[in-house]
Structure 1
Amino acid sequence: MADKGTQHAKISAIVLAAGKSSRMDGFKLLLPLGGRTVIGTTVANVLAAAFTETIVVTGHRHADVAASLPVNVQTVHNAAFADGMATSLQAGVNAACSDTDAYLFCLGDMPMVKTTTLLAIARASGGSSAIIVPNHDNRDGNPVLFGSDYRDELLQLTGDDGARRIIGAHTGNVVRIDIDEPGIFQDIDTAVDYKDVLGQ
């Protein structure tokens, strides 16, 4: 059931899961974690928030990642994933419903972000021009929510810039919310990172 604070807004959760895991021997998204996979855990946390839609953008090993996901998840294959994260952001935005109020960009290799954190970010959304950034101990983390006013700017990003450039260009619209959860920084890039997550 959707959180009461998010029922009025249409939020498209976009999970970015296209990378090759170049800093690890194995493919990190399909590594086991808590009875699921890394990507499966991330997506389960997003689905529990009951947003309007959940879109997973795949790239490397598309078929394997897609096959590991629940049937109620929309998958979009970004064949140009090697050209940078911007292409995955754009694939997700283009796949989202046209009347969405906001895009919540989640990273597939951040399974420690809790559903409660996702809902807190969604509740803080104050309209189509809002940018909501989670913050812990004066550090910005992920995921980040962008109101639909930024659709065109998101579609103009290039390379591996991600969306931080948009945040920098609209500082007056950025709302930072305090999150008592270090999981907003905890991505899995190396074998050490994976071991740390397994130990939690």
Structure 2
Amino acid sequence: MKKMLLDMLKSTGRWPEKPVISLVGAGGKTTCAYLLAEELAGEGKKVLVTTTTHMEHPNFLGRNGAIDQSPEEIAAALEKSPIVTAGTSGLGGMKMRALPEEVFGAVLPYFDAAVIEADGSKRHPFKVPASHEPVIRKETTHIMILAGMPAMGRPLCRVCFRMEEAEKLLLETENRGPAEDGRDGSLAERILTPGLAGRLLEAGYVQPLKRQFPDAAQMILLNQTEDAAAVEELQKNTSVPVFGRPSDPVRANGRIHLILLAAGFSRRFGENKLLFELDGRPMYQYPMEIFRTLKAVRRDIASVCVVSQYARILETAGEYGFCPAENRESAEGISSSLKLGIKKSREADKTDGTEEHFYCFFVADQPHLRADTVNRFLDGFLRSGKKIGCLASGDTTGNPVIFHESYVPELMGLKGDTGGKKVLKRHPEEVFLCDVGEELQLHDYDSRQSLEDRRIKGNAE
């Protein structure tokens, strides 16, 4: 039987009545923080989840949150769930920041355990910390150091956050010249192996943290792997226990239907904006290029449907190999296109009916959206276990929006110029929000003026 995260931590030494666990490094800290919290809650504990740096806002994770609250208000949130995520408002609303030290100290007695994300890695799968990192609370009893298995076998410069710190450690601890690990004289191009990762984590995290927190038990988690040999190689190069954790399961039988809603009248634009050329390409063609890329890289795309009232768009959809769906009822609003897209997608599906189905809606006037962003969004959504998902930036939600098939009756019940966002707002607890990264990717063009403003701003930048 595979060890759970809690079993791993308990095996590292004395287990206190009220554990305070700090997660550092890179490669899945937030995911592991909530897995730990859920395992602790399963033992009947009341669990505080927080950060000393920043982490995803609980609202965007569907979590029970208490942001900018007093210790008493944070404790009161336990009435909703045994796991409470607490912090202060972060810039842009997508992240939360640390609790003030006095608030953390005051709220801790209300809980039986605390799980703290205590390091930042900017989505890199590996990290070597700077001298001021990580930020560990003095109450910490256990430190879990993470490294992502997807970083292994790749050049350090492509996977390591704080590459300059990695270079310093390598120069300090090794004699330059040909040696193991594929070293070719370029530190940045060194291939990260589990052995090299172990040496960097030992020098960057383990030894400094032993000096600063001698009573805190430490372990390393090689995340997203079942490779026992990789775990063993890393273990040979560090002085603390090393464990492996397999990848999160993805809905293996999920089937995704991509639906482009391209039947609007563009009244505010002054002409058909979907046919308007931007950088030499009509607006509607941008999402079609994304669809073509997704079909090439993903096996779970069941169908692609383009809904429009315009012959040129429908003809192009056919040329791309997509299913064109003529909407003769466009005057009834976006709900007519949405429902037609679902109907045609179901007709195009050739599976035996045993798979889960998801309907992902795109708009045709969002030309800055990128295929890699959509691919990341779909992966994150499938792993989340949620049934609704959309892209977001700060407090702004945007397209695409994806729905599990269980929401089809609600979607088919929409009327007039009402889209799927109405269904999304009814079920906030079921929504997975994916940070788009660049807000520009969410931008759509309602008027010629908005397009000109964007061009002027782009030229100025």
TM range (shorter): 0.7 to 0.9
Give the whole-Å Cα distance in 2 for the aligned partners of 1:198 and 1:49. 28
2:271 paired with 1:14 = no
Cα distance in 2 for partners of 1:6, 1:108 equals 28
- Tell me the equivalent position of 2:139: none
2:417 to 127, 139, 160: 160
Distance in 2 between the 1:7 and 1:47 partners? 22
Q: Which residue of 2 aligns with 1:104?
A: 360
Give the drift of 1:183: 3.3
Letter in 2 for 1:114: R
Change (3 A) 1:56 1:114: same
Selected match of 2:443 from 171, 186, 191 = 186
- Alignment pair present for 1:71 and 2:71: no
Deviations for 1:162-186, whole angstroms, at most 9, x for unmatched residues? 1122112212211112120213431
Structure 2: which 5+ residue stretches go unaligned? Answer: 1-249, 296-300
Equivalent residue number for residue 87 of structure 1: 336
Which residue of structure 2 lines up, in the alignment, with residue 176 of structure 1?
433
SS in 2 for 1:96: helix
Spell out, residue by residue over 1:93-152, the C-alpha distance to the aligned partner (whole angstroms, 9 max, x if none).
001135561011000111211111211221123488610121112321111111111111
Q: TM-score, normalization: structure 2?
A: 0.39
Q: Quick one: higher RCO (CA 8 Å, sep 6+), 1 or 2?
A: 1
Report the AA paired with residue 303 of structure 2: E
Instruction: Give 1:193 deviation, angstroms.
Output: 2.6
Residue type at the aligned position of 2:323 = Q
Query: Are residue 117 (structure 1) and residue 366 (structure 2) matched?
Result: no
- Shifted more, 90-99 versus 189-198: the winner is 189-198
Counterpart AA for 2:332: D
Once residues 137 and 20 of structure 1 are traced to their aligned partners in structure 2, the CA distance between those partners, rounded to angstroms, is 29
Q: Residues of 2 paired with 1:10 and 1:35: CA distance?
A: 34
1:55 aligned residue = 305
Structure 1 6/184 Cα, relative in aligned 2: closer, same or farther at 3 Å? farther
Q: Which residue of 1 aligns with 2:389?
A: 132
Tell me the distance in 2 between the aligned counterparts of 1:58 and 1:140.
Answer: 24
Q: State whether residues 129 and 148 of structure 1, in contact with CA within 8 Å, keep that contact through their aligned partners in structure 2.
A: no
Q: Give the letter aligned to residue 55 of structure 1.
A: C
Range 72-81 or range 123-132, more displaced = 123-132
| Secondary structure of 1:167's aligned partner | helix
Conserved in 1, the CA contact under 8 Å of 2:292 and 2:320?
no
Moved more, 161-170 or 80-89: 161-170
Secondary structure at the counterpart of residue 260 of structure 2? strand
The percentage of aligned residue pairs carrying the same residue is: 25
Distance 1:42 1:196 in 2: 22
Q: Is the radius of gyration larger for structure 1 or structure 2?
A: 2
- What letter matches 1:183 in structure 2? L
Q: How many residues align?
A: 194
Following superposition, the deviation at residue 34 of structure 1 comes to: 3.2
**In structure 1, how many angstroms separate the alpha carbons of the residues matched to 2:334 and 2:277?**
24
* Rounded Cα–Cα distance in structure 2 between residues aligned with 1:95 and 1:195: 36
* SS of equivalent residue, structure 1 residue 49: helix
- Contact 1:142–1:185, Cα closer than 8 Å, also in 2: yes
CA RMSD of aligned residues (A): 2.3
Offset, 1:91: 0.4
Poorly superposed stretches of 4+, deviation over 4 Å: 5-8, 196-200
Q: Where do 5+ consecutive residues of structure 1 fail to align?
A: none
Question: Where does residue 30 of structure 1 map in the other structure?
Answer: 275
Q: Which amino acid aligns with 1:108?
A: A
In the TM superposition, residue 191 of structure 1 has moved relative to its aligned partner by: 0.7
Question: Does the aligned pair in 1 maintain the 2:381–2:389 contact within 8 Å?
Answer: yes
Separation in 1 of the partners of 2:399 and 2:375? 13
- Corresponding residue number in structure 1 for 2:401: 144
Show CA shifts across 1:55-74 (max 9, x none).
Answer: 11002xx2122233433111
* 114-123 vs 81-90, greater mean Cα deviation: 114-123
Per mean C-alpha deviation after superposition, the further-off stretch among 78-87 and 65-74 is 65-74
